[in-house]
Chain A
Amino acid sequence: MNEQLLRDLLLYLNNLGISSRTELLPSLLKAQKLFGYIPEEAIEIISEKLGVSQVEIYGVISFYSLLYVKPTADTVIRICTSPLCSQKGSHKIQKALQEKLGIKEGIPSTDGLFMVESVHCLGLCAHSPSALVNEIPICHISENKLDDLIEGKGSKPLARAFSDNPVLTSRFGTIEADSINDFIREDGFKGFIHALTLDQETIISNVKASGLLGRGGAAFPTGLKEESTAKDEAKEVYVICNADESEPGTFKDRVMLLNDPYSVLEGMLITAYAIGSHKGFIYIRGEYDQAQELFAKVLKNAEEKGYLGENILNSGFSFHVEIRSGAGAYICGEETALFESIEGKRGYPRNKPPYPVDSGVFGKPTDINNVETFSYISRIFGEKRDNSSTRLFCLSGDVKRAGLYELPFGIPLIELINDWGGGTKEDRKIKTIILGGASGSFVPEKYWDIPLDQKSLREAGLSMGSGVIMVFDETKEIPSILNDISSFFNHESCGKCYPCQLGSRKQHEIISRIHKSGPLPDDRDKLLDIGFTMKDASLCGLGQTASSAVLSAINLWPELFTAKGGPLQ
């Protein structure tokens, strides 16, 4: 055991403002960084300092993919195996890499230099297949460039957006992301300063009037949330920005955070002021190292300039923001699981009610919104825009120009793909489109020209979730795509509730068998029962949507699931 590292950990713990359970995940991530894993001695110190029992810490560590109780390696290479990357051959690349290094998945090389793991979606879907080498994202990896990959070299993700009338992305490329002066020059904080002149009710009614719906997936009216959180003035209230972005196919929040992070902070400030909150968190997924670093600078600069902290701009209003890093768990994007995670627990979603607006993090009313939602709030007050405007779309898959698009609501799906995305590569036929990511569903061909607005989609029984559009061309196979999707849920179900814990596994077992060797006579019935059970009885949104793709596929291509349908091509 390295005594010096233990002392470093102790120093870190001693310097914590509060020594309570909420510091658990940060402390564990610190230990993980120091040691490359979390040794027993570290758990003991953390347990003692934070007053959390050792066994609970053990349970927490084992929940999060980025925390380890066994030594890892100097270089950990994580290959994305989510649908998009997988469909572009990431599994094969991973295998080749492992062979080259002479190691098995998840087991460090004997010299402790390398370890290879698969991960689910790194938010680099516009550049698949992709990987993470320690903290460094590498795009377009290939079997031919394994040496580069091992050294952490390769193409870096582009962080830009396409739009003909940019609102949310208007500052992209025109400012240095970390420069507060640039931001202010480009009308930054104008919305907040304006909001400071309004009373709280007016702010909330403005947000309501804007018609803004949350951009994290559930499309809940943002103003309503603010109103419910604000109603109880006596209590502590929290504002949380959900930047855990892990839905396969989603990368908008990463790009937003890397291009215009101050606008997100501004949205949080306005919200905090409106609901009387003095403390906020931004929960950024653990794989977004760069975004975390950048946001730390943003907070520091904002504080120095008087836009954050005590008595902001001499208004008497105080607000503090803390960055919390995720640790590798998709479920922690679910709001109540995120609260548990901030509280230092396993990321288990809570039964609702109580809803976050009544009892959120630390049991206090909490207004939690997505990155894009907050950024949008800053525009409502800065530029007096209403809801008729735009949203961010994450276009990925077999299109010529995969990437982030800011476009008006109501743009027809196929137009987005063809006119903006440049159509499919080599102008192949589109096999299928998935809206909403892994938790979304296949779009029947008759809806390929559907206008992308809430109403039309709802009527068609579709949902765009966090704005994900995944395009698969004719070279792809449905069972293979489904296999990637079911594998994702099998890996990411938190396991708290039975329908999803059991269903995600049974579903994956059946799908992967169908993928390998075709269906058995009762597979379809089983999948239907499992699917409806997950959808109807799961505790949280993960389980409730984990069978969407499968159920929609059964509907569209019943022959794939019936043994009589003959062998698969």
Chain B
Amino acid sequence: MIGLFIDDIEVECDEEMTIMKAAESVGIEIPTICYHEKLTPPGLCRQCVVEVEGARVLLPSCVTKVREGMKVKTNSPRVQRVRKTILEMLAGSTDLSNAQGLQEQMKESGADSKRFDNSEKRVFPIKDDNPFYIRDYSKCIVCERCVQVCSEDIQFSYALTTSGRGYENRISTYYDKELPQTSCVFCGNCIDVCPTGALIARKESL
């Protein structure tokens, strides 16, 4: 057991815990996007960053472990600015209309969803290539959860990957083939973890 301070609250916890879990244990909820209980945290969305005294940059609380005597601020002005800007840029890149969680976070952080409206959005035709589910990558935020699920966090079916680089990162199949032509077994485990409705069961999308 070690002790630390989170938002001035003294917290005792196991030293293997992440800052996020430690905060949770005293009722402080830190917003997340890419984090999912079932999956290896990739630490990529940076929505969960917190300010740790002495650290040069903000740290992702989902993967950063607690340390003895650490002083953590989960909602400082620096943190707020980052969270809000990330959400605004996301909204300026992706159709978040079905991403309920993200919409709530925007409201919470006071993010202006239209701030980056005159920038180039990532828009793609809907992929409707199988009887089970639909892929609408205009709604995809490349959190890579589906890729994790399909490869080594759950399914080991290896039908999905992230392709491209940077802003051009996309979720793709092998050569972008239609799903029935790939190793996809339509377990739909990816749908369960998709936070944006980019992957959606056909009947739900109607």
Contacts and interface: CB of A to CB of B under 8 A. Distances in A.
**Do these two chains interact?**
yes
A529 B85 contact: yes
A54 interface: yes
B153 to A, nearest CB: 14
Specify the main secondary structure of chain B where it touches its partner.
Answer: loop
Contact of B173 (A55, A506, A537): A55
A245 interface: no
A330 to B, nearest CB: 10
Given A529-B81, A532-B81, A502 B165 contact: no
A539 interface: yes
Contacts of B116: 506, 526
Contact of B165 (A55, A493, A497): A493
A427 interface: no
A235 to B, nearest CB: 21
Given A40-B175, A55-B160, A498-B46, A537 B82 contact: yes
A541 to B, nearest CB: 10
A491 B49 CA distance: 25
Contacts of A493: 165-167
Nearest to B184: A55
Contacts of B45: 497-498
Contact of A501 (B78, B142, B173): B142
Contacts of B89: 498, 502-503, 506, 530, 533
B44 A537 contact: no
B11 interface: no
B163 A501 contact: no
A496 B43 CA distance: 9
A62 B158 CA distance: 16
A55 B159 contact: yes
A506 B119 contact: yes
B183 interface: yes
B46 A62 contact: no
Contacts of A498: 33, 44-47, 86, 89-90
A506 B87 CA distance: 13
Contacts, number: 139
A69 interface: yes
Contacts of A497: 43-46
B115 to A, nearest CB: 7
Interface string B167-180: 11100111100000
Contacts of B93: 502, 505
A495 interface: yes
Contacts of B65: 353
Interface in A53-74: 53-56, 58-59, 62-63, 69
A497 B58 CA distance: 13
Contacts of B104: none
Interface in A483-541: 490-499, 501-506, 509, 526, 529-530, 532-533, 535-539
Contact of A536 (B58, B142, B159, B183): B58
A366 interface: no
Contacts of A346: 162
Nearest to A543: B46
Interface string B66-81: 0000000000001001
Given A59-B172, A493-B165, A506 B92 contact: yes
A59 B163 contact: yes
Contacts of A503: 89
B85 A533 contact: yes
B142 A58 contact: no
Interface in B178-202: 182-183
A494 B115 CA distance: 24
A536 to B, nearest CB: 5
Contacts of A538: 46, 57
A530 B85 contact: yes
Nearest to B49: A537
B82 A536 contact: yes
Contacts of B165: 62-63, 329, 492-495
Nearest to A493: B166
Contacts of A539: 43-44, 46, 60
B27 to A, nearest CB: 24
Given A329-B165, A493-B166, A498-B45, A537 B158 contact: no
Contact of B168 (A59, A495, A533): A495
A69 B174 CA distance: 11
Contacts of B119: 505-506, 509
Contacts of B169: 495, 501
B101 to A, nearest CB: 15
Interface string A2-35: 0000000000000000000000000000000000
Contacts of B57: 535-538, 544
A315 interface: no
Contacts of B99: none
Contact of B167 (A69, A499, A502): A502
Contacts of A533: 81-82, 85-86, 89
A532 B78 CA distance: 9
Nearest to B88: A529
A475 interface: no
A491 B169 CA distance: 11
A351 interface: yes
Given A53-B183, A537-B58, A499 B160 contact: no
A533 B166 CA distance: 16
A63 B164 CA distance: 5
A360 to B, nearest CB: 17
A62 B88 CA distance: 28
A538 B44 CA distance: 9
Nearest to B167: A505
6 contacts: A55-B182, A58-B161, A502-B89, A533-B85, A533-B89, A535-B57
Interface of B: 33, 42-47, 49, 57-58, 60, 63, 65, 78, 81-82, 84-86, 88-90, 92-93, 115-116, 119-120, 142, 151, 158-169, 172-175, 182-183
Given A69-B175, A529-B81, A537-B86, 15 more contacts: A53-B183, A55-B182, A55-B183, A63-B163, A495-B162, A495-B167, A496-B42, A498-B90, A502-B93, A505-B166, A506-B89, A532-B85, A533-B86, A536-B78, A537-B82
Interface of A: 40, 53-56, 58-59, 62-63, 69, 329, 346, 351, 353, 490-499, 501-506, 509, 526, 529-530, 532-533, 535-539, 544
In the complex, the 4 A-B pairs of residues with the closest C-beta atoms, listed nearest first: A59-B161, A53-B158, A502-B89, A505-B167
